[in-house]
Structure 1
Amino acid sequence: MTIRVAVAGATGKMGKLALRLIEEAPDLELHAALGRETPLSAIDGADVAFDVTHPAASADIVRHSLSIGVPIVVGTSGWSAPRISEIEAFRRELGEGAPAVLFVPNFSIGSVLGTAFAALAAKFFDSIEIVEAHHAGKVDSPSGTAVRTAELMTAARGERGPVAAPHADQRARGQLVGGIPIHSLRLSGVVAEQRVVLGGDGETLTIAHSTVSPSSYEAGILLALRRAPEAEGVTVGLDALLDLGISSDR
């Protein structure tokens, strides 16, 4: 079976990467390549949509795709838990049989593993901070990967409760997500990096991941596109497709 894919954000770096992967894959076919001026109706008739656009545009693309019955893989950053909850509510309004949404903050297998390790370690440390760095052109901060990591670590702590939060006057300690400070760097020469630093009595643990080439995203993109047509509900994170035990399948 050939999967017809509509790519929104086709002129960007991730969009161009997706176009190449679709062209090379024997089981994928390009249905439409959407740029900034392309009407959303170009998605109509696709088997799956792939959204790698801009945080301000992504919600309309997701809602349109769901409303016409096309499952969608969302690689656009900036999708926090509250925004995802709004999409869940929208799907419920559409009723039974609404297509699936796969929110993937990061398509890198190594990054997903780093987040999984951080969630595992979060249960044992009360001091936790995240430092993430991306290329200078990335418009959102903190990154979707960092937000996802903080949310999973907070959930993993369970009854242990929140981490030691910064003092109210320590504004340089970063944006709090689930009580965990996230520091964002936007620098030329960087692709993507994340360090989770956990502090305990007499020790620190650092879980770090660096993306040195966009090729690290290829396996994750292909996996998500191939799984989306048969998926159900709202799924957050590539880990849900890798069976790592930390999925947020909704």
Structure 2
Amino acid sequence: MVSSVAVAGASGRLGSLVCEVVESHPDFELVAKLTSKSGADEGAEADILVDVTSPEVSQEIVERALGRGQQVLIGTSGWSAERIAGLEQTMSQFADQGAIVVPNFSLGSVLGTALAQIAAPYFASIEVIEAHHPKKIDSPSGTAVRTAELMAEAREAANSEPLLAPFTEQRARGELVAGIPVHSLRLTGVVAKQEVRFGGPGEVLCLVHDTHSNDAYVAGIRAALEAVREARGVTVGLDSVLGIGRSE
């Protein structure tokens, strides 16, 4: 059975790629390319709404889609743990629907975050550096936020000692996310890059993921599209879609 898809944010970098993936997939039909000029009811006939817009409008778009009975795939950055908790409350009204939130569609990025969770309980210092192209509006990136939150959860589950993060009141020390400093770079020539640095007595561990082109996102978009058709409730992360284990 072919599922119809509307893409909100279709004119953006990720939105254009999502449209290409949908159009090339035999199980999906692209019925609407939505932009900031589109009316609120455009794309309402679609089975699935893919939201790859901006953090400012994403929540409204998602809630409207759920109210129309659509399945929702969220690729917009900025969905923090707090916002996801709100989405879970909203989804309690829609037992027969599902929403998947994917901070990053790259398999390498997902694996990098999983490895960061494994390492997090064993080091006293952790900092994240993320870099993206100059047109990325939000910072820190959704991937960096999610990575920091999951590392903090792993440390809490392991009863780790409090992190050492001195002088965080200084702006140059980055933004604290779940107690972990996150630094954002916006540079010409960069697609996406994330580095997590772990410091311990006498050693430093660096986990680096570097995206060189948008081709890195294609497989993840396909997997998330295929999963969202039967999704129920809220699913967070490409790791959950692919069955990559993480600490709870």
Give me the TM-score of the superposition, normalised by structure 2: 0.95
The 5-angstrom pairing of residues 63-102 of structure 1 reads 63-92=63-92, 94-97=93-96, 99-102=97-100
Larger RCO (CA within 8 A; separation ≥ 6)? 2
Q: SS of 2:137's equivalent?
A: coil
8 Å CA contact 2:53–2:76 kept in 1: the answer is yes
Counterpart in 1 of 2:35?
A: 35
**How much has 1:87 moved relative to structure 2?**
1.5
Q: Which runs of 5+ in 2 are unaligned?
A: none
Counterpart in 1 of 2:192?
A: 192
Q: Structure 2: which amino acid aligns with 1:164?
A: L
Q: Which runs of 5+ in 1 are unaligned?
A: none
Q: SS of 1:130's equivalent?
A: strand
Counterpart in 1 of 2:137?
A: 139
Q: 1:102/1:161 Cα in 2 relative to 1: closer, same or farther (>3 Å)?
A: farther
**How much has 1:168 moved relative to structure 2?**
4.5
Q: Determine what percentage of the aligned residue pairs are the same residue.
A: 52
- For residues 133 and 65 of structure 1, what CA distance do their matches in structure 2 show? 31
Counterpart in 2 of 1:22?
A: 22
Counterpart in 2 of 1:149?
A: 147
Counterpart in 2 of 1:180?
A: 180
**How much has 1:45 moved relative to structure 2?**
2.5
Segments ≥4 residues shifted beyond 4 Å: none
Using the TM superposition, name which of 229-238 and 146-155 deviates more. Answer: 229-238
8 Å CA contact 1:8–1:34 kept in 2: the answer is yes
- For residues 168 and 107 of structure 2, what CA distance do their matches in structure 1 show? 36
Q: 1:222/1:38 Cα in 2 relative to 1: closer, same or farther (>3 Å)?
A: same
**How much has 1:162 moved relative to structure 2?**
3.5
Q: SS of 2:146's equivalent?
A: helix
8 Å CA contact 1:75–1:106 kept in 2: the answer is yes
Give me the TM-score of the superposition, normalised by structure 1: 0.94
Using the TM superposition, name which of 23-32 and 132-141 deviates more. Answer: 23-32
The answer to whether structure 1 residue 234 and structure 2 residue 242 are counterparts is: no
**How much has 1:95 moved relative to structure 2?**
4.7
Q: 1:115/1:60 Cα in 2 relative to 1: closer, same or farther (>3 Å)?
A: same
8 Å CA contact 1:197–1:204 kept in 2: the answer is yes
**How much has 1:23 moved relative to structure 2?**
1.4
8 Å CA contact 2:6–2:30 kept in 1: the answer is yes
Q: 1:95/1:161 Cα in 2 relative to 1: closer, same or farther (>3 Å)?
A: farther
- For residues 168 and 10 of structure 2, what CA distance do their matches in structure 1 show? 42
8 Å CA contact 1:2–1:27 kept in 2: the answer is yes
**How much has 1:164 moved relative to structure 2?**
1.3
Q: Once superposed, what is the RMSD of the aligned Cα atoms?
A: 1.4
Give aligned pairs, total: 246
The 5-angstrom pairing of residues 200-211 of structure 1 reads 200-211=200-211
Counterpart in 2 of 1:59?
A: 59
- For residues 161 and 82 of structure 2, what CA distance do their matches in structure 1 show? 20
